[in-house]
Every structure is written in structure tokens, then in C-alpha cells.
């Protein structure tokens, strides 16, 4: 495979954007504080009682039809509770798995861990 300057540049941009998402707690509405998420931070998608209730997912919205399908790169960025992540993955499996999108490169950086905050919402966790 011959790498061109264009392909290297695109790859570098994708890697940098992945790093940005990971370091910035991507998917958080209003920054790194609790209550974020590309889904508008609906309380039901972020509600938790313990940190094991929290996770990250690549699917930052509900999938109601094939038009809502997204590429899954293995780079979870949206913070949600486990129930929401499982529901969205089931929607993806039902509506998207058979109709694969033409997706690009799948390189990413592992994001910060997630915790259940004192406000009982899933949010980025950082070492104390």
C-alpha cells in the first residue's frame, strides 16, 4: 500500500481529533462538568448510583432508522449510563449491522475513565 501525503495528512488529522475527544471528555455538553452528552445530557441517559453504572459509547444518539446509523470505530467518546449504551447497541444491531456504512480508519486513543459523580450523573473521572 502506497502512502501519499494526502492519506498521511488525513490519518494524522483523524488521530489528533481522536486525542482531542479523549482528552476533552468529548460528548460533554458544556465542557467537562457533569450532565454532558451529545444527546443533550438527558438525565435518564446519565443517571447512576455507582461508577459501574457508567460507560462510554460511540453511539451518541438513539437509532430509530437506518438513517441514524453511524460508523463504529472502537473509540467510545459519549458518556452515558450502561442501560443507555446497551439500548443503543441493540438498536444498532437491529438497524445498522446488516447495512454497513463505508467507514474510514479506526485509530483512537483511550479516553479518560468515567465515574458516577456526587450529583449521581455519569461524568469523566480523573485521578485525584
Read off the pTM. 0.62
Residue 31 lies in domain: 5-61+72-82+102-124
Q: Is residue 109 part of a domain?
A: yes
Q: With 50 as the cut, is the pLDDT of residue 59 above it?
A: yes
> Angle CA(25)–CA(31)–CA(85) in degrees, nearest 5?
50
At 73-90, the pLDDT tens digits run: 888 999 999 999 999 999
Say if strands 122-124 and 114-116 run parallel, antiparallel, or are unpaired: antiparallel
So what's the pLDDT on residue 80? 96
Q: Can you tell me the distance from the alpha carbon of 28 to that of 107, in angstroms, rounded to the nearest whole number?
A: 21
Residue 49 lies in a domain: yes
Give 4's pLDDT tier (boundaries 50, 70, 90).
Answer: low
Q: Average pLDDT for residues 29-43, to the nearest whole number?
A: 41
Q: How many domains does one find in the chain?
A: 1
Domain assignment present for 67: no
Distance CA 121, CA 128 (A): 18
On whether residue 93 sits in a domain, the answer given is no
Please give the distance of CA 74 from its chain centroid, rounded to a whole number.
9
Amino acid at each position: 500500500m502506497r502512502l501519499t501525503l494526502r492519506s498521511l495528512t488525513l490519518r494524522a488529522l483523524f488521530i489528533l481529533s481522536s486525542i482531542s475527544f479523549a482528552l476533552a471528555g468529548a460528548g460533554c455538553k458544556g465542557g467537562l462538568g457533569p450532565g454532558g452528552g451529545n444527546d443533550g445530557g438527558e438525565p435518564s441517559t446519565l443517571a447512576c448510583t455507582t461508577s459501574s453504572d457508567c460507560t462510554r459509547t460511540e453511539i451518541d444518539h438513539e437509532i430509530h432508522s437506518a438513517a441514524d446509523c453511524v460508523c463504529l470505530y472502537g473509540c467510545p467518546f459519549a458518556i452515558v449510563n450502561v442501560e443507555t449504551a446497551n439500548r443503543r447497541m441493540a438498536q444498532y444491531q437491529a438497524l445498522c449491522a446488516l447495512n454497513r456504512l463505508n467507514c474510514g480508519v479506526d485509530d483512537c486513543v483511550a479516553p479518560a475513565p468515567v465515574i458516577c459523580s456526587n450529583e449521581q450523573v455519569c461524568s469523566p473521572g480523573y485521578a485525584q
